[in-house]
Amino acid sequence: MACFDDVEDFLGLFVYVVTKPKPQENFLSFLGEESRMPGPRWLGWGWSLVPQKCSSKESMHAYAANVYTSVVEELMKGKQRKFIAVEQEFFRLWWDTVATDTYKQQVHQLLQEGRLEFVIGGQVMHDEAVTLIDDQILQLTEGHGFLYETFGTRPQFSWHVDPFGASATTPTLFALAGFNAHLISRIDYDLKADMQKNKKLQFVWQGSPSLSERQEIFTHVMDQYSYCTPSQIPFSNRSGFYWNGIAVFPDPPKDGVYPNMSLPVTDTNIHLYAQTMVSNIKERAAWFQTSDVLWPWGCDKQFFNASVQYSNMDLLLDYINKHSDEFGVTVQYATVGDYFQAVYSRNLTWEIQDSQDFLPYSTEPFQAWTGFYTSRSTLKGIARRASSLLYAGESFFTQYVRKHPASSICKCRALKQLQSLRWAVSEVQHHDGITGTESPKVKDMYMNNLMYGMFNVKKLMASIIFDMNNAKKNGEVYSSIYTKDSAIPGAPDVDQYVVVYNPLAWNITTFVMVSVSHLAMGVYDEMGHSVPVQVQSSAETHSTYDLYILVAISGLSYRKYNVKPLNGKQSAFIGRSVKYKRKDLTRADQQCRQLLPVVNNCYQVLFDQNTNLMHSITERETNQTVQLTQEFLEYHVNGDMMKGPISDNYLFAPNSSAVPVAKAVGLEVVSGNLMTEIRQYFYSNVTTQDYIYAVYTRLYTVPEGYDGKLLCHRIEQEYSVGPLELNREAVLRTSTNLNTRQLLYTDSNGYQIQKRPFKTYVNNTVARNYYPMVQTAYIEDDTTRLMLLAERAHGVSSQGNGQVEVMLHRRLWNNLQWDLNYNLTLNDSSVVRPVIWLILGTKAVTNILYRTSGLALEHRPVVMFGALSGDKLKLPRQPQQNSVHGSPVTVPPNLHLQTLSIPGWRYSSNHAEQVRSIRMGKQKQGDADFSRVLLRIRHLYEVGEDPVLSQPVMVNLKSLLKGLGPVMIVEERSLTGTWDVNTLNRWKWKTAQYPSKGFSNSTETSENCIVTVHPKEIRTFFVYFQGQ
């Protein structure tokens, strides 16, 4: 179950302005009715469906059920009335738990008549700044699959009105999904004012520099009034046009009288209402090029009483239209699709917006919405771990079903286990979810749902391991992703196994870590051969040891390792610890430096023994040395509204420059044959017992016979940050001698790179130069690049030449009444443990490394470990890569197997057949469809980025998937699967570059299962195998 804080389901009033020969203007105003239901701020924000707090029944009772129930009832009463619905999570809850057969029939009718329209159609309105492209696609696919299976409808327009800034990735994804137009609202206030003044709020956005015009989309930016109806009316002290008032939680008032209900429309005030509305329509009309004006009607948590809404607006629209000569305006209800159709029919030529995005977002000089890039770091980390586990579980299950059609595992139950995590990962992408801008109890809901879904998928993967190895059912396997919570005990009578699954479609060589209770441990592969390992004391606890196992695994395959205590013998490699004296930074001798080297085959890292801080890194192949030091700092922020701007979940408003927090640093070096770990502890003074920050830096040495290119070229860092003092924002600043001219590069949603030049503002320059780092950030000079790769989102900035700083944690409180009312003060007293990998090298080398390294960090191997008593796992006669299907799945290094799953949808791939079966009431019922496999392949590189890796790649899908069985049919689909690409003809908007208007279908159709994937393309297929 989910609950969100403001449901983004809008009705829209749309104003259509026709210019006549005489100076008088005639506006045809289309009302787009909207109700931002408890979605964003309810689904993701203030009211939760968490057990013991607020049940799903209570939440539906308080608001969401009333919206859909009353809207459907009211739409049936007037043919002129219309409504748009956005987020599917709450609609699906209503559909499954509240809607009667009558309501369901009426919804079908309203959709067919075009009076109810689903826009976006994803599970949620996802955030655009801190979400990963995979998760955006997932939540969109989940919603679209439901809509197509249930109604045969496919959304073609977006309504992305509330995310805090607009990414260039989103319009590309919506174009790939088959959308004809895109609508956004929240962009920087001064930029919007300039665009509004110059009538440039509408343009054709080419979000991807490589896909360019092939996946461009017409984009509408809402004006200064944004997505809500202007609430101020001159003749009343109540808000205007909100006749149902403000929703009350958790129980609606029994008398039906809600706070701040607008004055009903009467004979005495209808002319005043009309004048107010028409005045606003004409003001907005002056900001757009066409005579079509969108006038949204509604706002957050509206239309819970659609009867009073429509009955008043009906009177007002009828009055204006009867006096259209006087007002110069004609108004009508409309959907977003109606509006865009009217604009498209104007046949104007539009300007092109390139791949630059609209981040960061500020609403006024001291309100930079850059704090949420880091808010609730723990939630951000768990959400990404859950996404990665889901990615692994999907391919693991898909291979299993293909190879074991008559298995002992119930496929329907297994699919439900996967679906629980699909839903949890989808809902947390909400723009008041993963952003950390929800109340604590809604954050708890997200966490609970994610942990429940992860438990289900771990359990499923463990069951598959048992089934495929014919292990006895009393064995125990439990799965973990780099957990340090449980140690392998090493009991002599029970074999302890570690099963490691590689979810990537490449061969990998890496280390996995498990906790063990003995120092002397040995690890053996399926043939009983010893495996390179290193064991050492744990940095976190004195009761266990960290066992690092070197694994080499083919694509989408797994290996089994037997972990045994050596009965007093020494294991091969034991990490030896050397602790250095804590150094006082305030008294460090800068003249006489003693440098401590840590070396592997790719880097030499020097540490200054006067300070215990990093001094420099040398890339050994080119012998290029970069002076590099790292320090923790804190921004102090204000919590008193009376004393100036505040920071909160959304905003970052520092009082001044960041302040160094450590006056002393401790150092411990744990070195072994395979890995060296440098442990740095940062103290507020020389005598303090407890450290406030820590960095664990790891360099790996790969033995002969292993491909250690990626492993050798990364410097892993794990941080321990917190608990912070109140109103502190913690950053790690890395300072180098690179002449970067303060130019920073960050990724957009793990898909493409944005250039971020430092900009100077009159006010709030620090905060307005923060950007989201979802997966990648880097700085560079003419020859050398320093890259940072992250496993969760952070705020990142370059506040000085050669610097890059990453915000790791925030703890805030303020007395803003609005924040207090919704418990949005972010008093986060947790300790966070983010991980960042550093890569240093030439631009050519880092270009090759960072795409695959970023995915290697995102999709680290899934480690399952446990005891198997009785029968031993079957050992192969020869060393083997145990894939779930017997043959690895491997793609070239410039491609990524983005999706391999069994969605379970029952809809027909033939659109005419699907629509016909729905209208005849013959939709497929019963069990899920396990024959359809969803495959996505993504090209990782931009045009011209690398002379080799940027080339198009030809892929034979039959050969790629031969291990799953003989491929019989391949259908190429739109991004979310609901369109056959051969029938997908998106609107082609006129630009100076492309002056002809028409339809766009730019995808090459695959022949003989051979496809050519061009730079940055994401290709989606349905695959059917022999015997299905």
Distance of alpha carbon 722 from alpha carbon 1018, whole angstroms: 40
SS3 72: helix
The residue type of 871 is D
Smallest Cα–Cα separation from 964: which of 930, 939, 938, 940? Answer: 930
**Reduced 3-state DSSP string for 450-495:** HHHHHHHHHHHHHHHHHHHCCCCCCCEEEEECCCCCCEECCCCCCE
Q: Answer whether 437's CB lies under 8 Å from 370's CB.
A: no
Is 461 exposed, middle or buried, given 0-12, 13-18 or 19+ CB atoms closer than 10 A? buried
> What HEC string does 214-269 produce?
HHCEEEEECCCCCCCCCCCCCCCCCCCCCCCCCCCCCCCCCCCCCCCCCCCCCCCC
In angstroms, the CA 382 to CA 388 distance is 10
Sorted by sequence, the CB contacts under 8 Å of residue 760 that are 6+ apart come out as none
Distance (Å) of CA 714 to CA 804, 833, 845, 877: 18, 18, 12, 36
- In angstroms, what CA-CA distances link 382 with 376, 506, 809? 10, 25, 15
Q: How many CB atoms lie within 10 A of CB 356?
A: 12
| DSSP classification of residue 574 | B
Cα distances (Å, whole numbers) of residue 71 to 11, 64, 65, 657: 10, 11, 10, 51
Largest CA distance in the chain: 99
Element (H, E) at 710: helix 709-712
Cβ atoms of residues 351 and 204 within 8 Å: yes
CA distances from 235 to 182, 241, 274, 316, 331 (A): 36, 12, 12, 16, 22
- The radius of gyration of the chain from alpha carbons, rounded to an integer in Å, stands at 29
680: three-class secondary structure by DSSP: strand
Q: Name the 3-class secondary structure at 363.
A: strand
- Name the DSSP class of 643: G
Show the CA angle centred on residue 161, arms to residues 158 and 165, nearest 5°: 110
SS3 947: coil
DSSP character for 514?
E
The catalytic residue among 5, 9, 135, 162 is: 162
Determine the 3-state secondary structure of 731 from DSSP.
Answer: strand
Q: Quote the tokens at residue 943.
A: 């045009």
Nearest to 244 by CA among 63, 119, 87, 85: 63
Assess whether 432 carries a catalytic annotation: no
Instruction: Transcribe 263-312 into DSSP letters.
Output: PPP-TTTHHHHHHHHHHHHHHHHTTSSSSEEEEEE--BT--TTHHHHHHH
Residue for token pair 């609606």: 252
User: Which positions are annotated as active-site residues?
Assistant: 162
